Amino acid sequence: MSITGSRVIHTADYEHLRAIINWKQAGQELGHIEGEPLNIGYVCVDRNVDLGRGEKLALVHEGHGGEIRQFTYRDVMLLTNGWAHFLRGLGVRPLDRVCLFLDRHPELYIGMMSVLKTGAIAEPLFSAFGEEALFARASDSGAMAIITERHHLGKVRKIRDRLPSLQVVIVIDHEEEGRPLREGEVAFRMMDHRRDTFPIARTSPESPSLLHYTSGTTGAPKGAMHVHGSVLAQYLTSKTVLDLQEDDIYWCTADPGWVTGTSYGIIGPWSVGVTQVVVNAGFTSDRWYETIEKHRVTVWYTAPTAIRMLMKDGLDPVRRHDLSSLRHMCSVGEPLNPEAVRWGREAFGLDFHDTFWQTETGAIMVTNLPGMPVKPGSMGRPFPALEAAIVDEKTGVPITEPGKIGLIAIRPPWPSMMRTYWNNSATYYKKFLNGWYICGDRASLDKEGYFWFSGRDDDVINTAGHLVGPFEIESALLEHPAVAESAAIGKPDPMNMEVVKAFVALRPGFTPSEDLELDIMNFVRKRLSPLAMPQEIEFVDRVPKTRSGKILRRVLKAKERGEAIGDTSTMDDD
Ligand code: PRX
């Protein structure tokens, strides 16, 4: 395989790939000279115009009702320049945090590049977040601006008084005849602001670029801080794993509130200079196949829950559409079950290529490369520019014995590795052992060096590929007037991998009922998000805790799964 020029030549020779694929080469291909500035906004936008892709479509956007908007790389350049000037005018300075709290409109994609051009730090947030989830993230980062839309403005207004750093709220779709904006809110219509030039911030590869919040077992969500140099990894993996080439039409189904939707829903594809499709609509299998057919999608990046939903609808909808444009398919976020790979073969005549990575790693770490034989159920092998291993959980020493389970570990550094957790470097340093970065997942190797995922090493819940922190849910539950104690765990689910199940002990005077259960569920949905909402609530007399008051989620999980409970010597009621 050679990655000279823009074309990838496939071969299954993994060792050869390890010898020739490296980050330095990515920098060279992107025209970056060591010691010179590097800005993702330039690499993903203006550079494409400089390379003659000005009239090429950067974004084909389909709205809810099927309306299509198209943007060339030149359009994106002029619009990001206009928006970056506007942000500067509002006082946005390098390293300020700017939240993007938007549905998947073109403004989300173009806005993020505008923020990066100013040198400020972009903080993408799911628009489905309720006010408490938004507050936790915007207050931790000390955001000075939030870019949002009318539909979500109410949630911002509810928490504004509690955000002392927030100076301005930018509303992308304000209409004069609508309700007036309040003090500290400004209207900005992207299409009215085109500028030929903008002095892009001279950021270095180590300058902060993005803050992506992710959930852990304990404490509030943590902001993984990424840097502009991450683009080297996102570019190289987009080329070699997603196999993006000049003429591809690429569709990443992920929302940019999730790291997949930025690393491979904006930065990766635009750094390579391909046309990407974005659909701002919910899931139906027909709509998804229509998207592939209508836009002649060639490369598709999606997630196991979505694949299982497509499987559920069977092969008929597949056969009703012409999907012959598809040539490469990848998956991320959860274990890709062997049946899903086999079904993909039957439905599309292609393999889904699994990719394993995290918010913290910023780019794909373990994967099935194009041309590499896919073993259904395995995540594949380390990306060839990296060293990844399975290590012993106590010593951090690599385990080479086939089938023996240990922790997935990556040897630092790599360009897209988080540089810290915002305001929380202590937790960041805990992620390392014996010189390895520890992902927090368990897996084993087979004789050929393929990785087989076995499970997470903590209590974080993975529902439909999205991580939800039990602590955040438990805290939200405790805000409900009827709840005295709470615990949240992941309950195995055939479609979403896991769903949230909550255990609740009620305050005196409250009795369990279906109405109360629904009320508590909705309470969490509104405050946090639909994904964090418990699908089931079990009323209990008390929640099992250690003597020091830590919730024993493993006891609840074991009971739920019918497994042995294990050591209970620290329980407070044994
Ligand atoms: O537990 C692993 C699971 O998702 C976690 C990372 O989640 P997040 O930071 O939200 O980023 C997801 C998108 C990159 C991992 O620690 N995970 C991710 N990919 C896979 C996976 N589990 C099994 N197989 C995968 N391919």
List, in order of start, the domains of the chain with CATH numbers. 37-45+74-228 (3.40.50.12780), 462-561 (3.30.300.30)
Residues 6+ apart with CB under 8 A from 316: none
pLDDT at 215: 86
d(CA 46, CA 402) in angstroms, rounded, equals 48
pLDDT at 559: 87
The best mutation among 255, 330, 332, 407 to test binding of ligand 1, ranked by most ligand atoms within 8 Å of the C-beta, falls on 332
The stretches in the chain having pLDDT less than 70 are 1-12, 177-178, 565-574
Is any ligand 1 atom within 6 A of the Cβ of residue 361? no
Which DSSP string do the residues of 436-505 spell out, in sequence order? EEEEEEEEEE-TT--EEEEEESSS-EEETTEEE-HHHHHHHHHHSTTEEEEEEEEEEETTTEEEEEEEEE
- Beta pairing, strands 381-382 & 366-367: antiparallel
Residues 6+ apart with CB under 8 A from 542: 485, 505, 573
Q: How much distance in Å is there from the Cα of 46 to the middle of ligand 1?
A: 32
CA-to-CA separations, 314 to 284, 320, 323, 498, in angstroms, rounded = 12, 11, 15, 22
Is any ligand 1 atom within 6 A of the Cβ of residue 415? no
Token couple for 221 = 């969500």
The best mutation among 213, 237, 358, 531 to test binding of ligand 1, ranked by most ligand atoms within 8 Å of the C-beta, falls on 358
Residues 6+ apart with CB under 8 A from 284: none
* Span 150-177, pLDDT tens digits: 999 999 999 999 999 999 999 999 987 6
Is any ligand 1 atom within 6 A of the Cβ of residue 441? yes
| Whether 146 contacts 77, CB under 8 Å | no
pLDDT at 15: 87
On whether the pTM is more than 0.85, the answer is yes
pLDDT at 570: 56
Q: Which of 190, 172, 170 is nearest to 120 (CA)?
A: 170
Is any ligand 1 atom within 6 A of the Cβ of residue 356? yes
CA-based diameter of the chain, in Å? 71
d(CA 422, CA 428) in angstroms, rounded, equals 9
Is any ligand 1 atom within 6 A of the Cβ of residue 459? no
Q: How much distance in Å is there from the Cα of 358 to the middle of ligand 1?
A: 5
pLDDT at 53: 98
d(CA 564, CA 573) in angstroms, rounded, equals 18
Residues 6+ apart with CB under 8 A from 433: 391, 395, 396, 407, 409
d(CA 159, CA 133) in angstroms, rounded, equals 11
pLDDT at 362: 98
CA-to-CA separations, 543 to 136, 534, 549, in angstroms, rounded = 25, 16, 10
Is any ligand 1 atom within 6 A of the Cβ of residue 260? yes
Which ligand 1 atom minimizes the distance to the CA of 453? 23
Distance of CA 491 to the CA centre of its chain: 22
pLDDT at 217: 72
pLDDT at 510: 97
d(CA 474, CA 479) in angstroms, rounded, equals 9
Is any ligand 1 atom within 6 A of the Cβ of residue 334? yes
Q: Which residues pair with 410 in a beta bridge?
A: 388, 437
Is any ligand 1 atom within 6 A of the Cβ of residue 467? yes
pLDDT at 12: 60
Is any ligand 1 atom within 6 A of the Cβ of residue 332? yes
* Three-class DSSP labels, 313-340: CCCHHHHCCCCCCCCEEEEECCCCCHHH
d(CA 473, CA 477) in angstroms, rounded, equals 6
Token couple for 475 = 């805290």
Q: Which of 239, 257, 274 is nearest to 59 (CA)?
A: 274
Among protein residues, the one whose CA lies closest to atom 4 of ligand 1: 333
Token couple for 88 = 């500067």
SS3 15: helix
pLDDT at 548: 76
Token couple for 102 = 């938007």
Residue with structure tokens 């003597």? 547
- Beta pairing, strands 57-62 & 68-72: antiparallel
d(CA 411, CA 37) in angstroms, rounded, equals 26
Residues 6+ apart with CB under 8 A from 14: 369, 372, 381, 384, 449
Query: Which amino acid would we find at residue 300?
Result: W
Is any ligand 1 atom within 6 A of the Cβ of residue 302? no
Q: How much distance in Å is there from the Cα of 276 to the middle of ligand 1?
A: 23
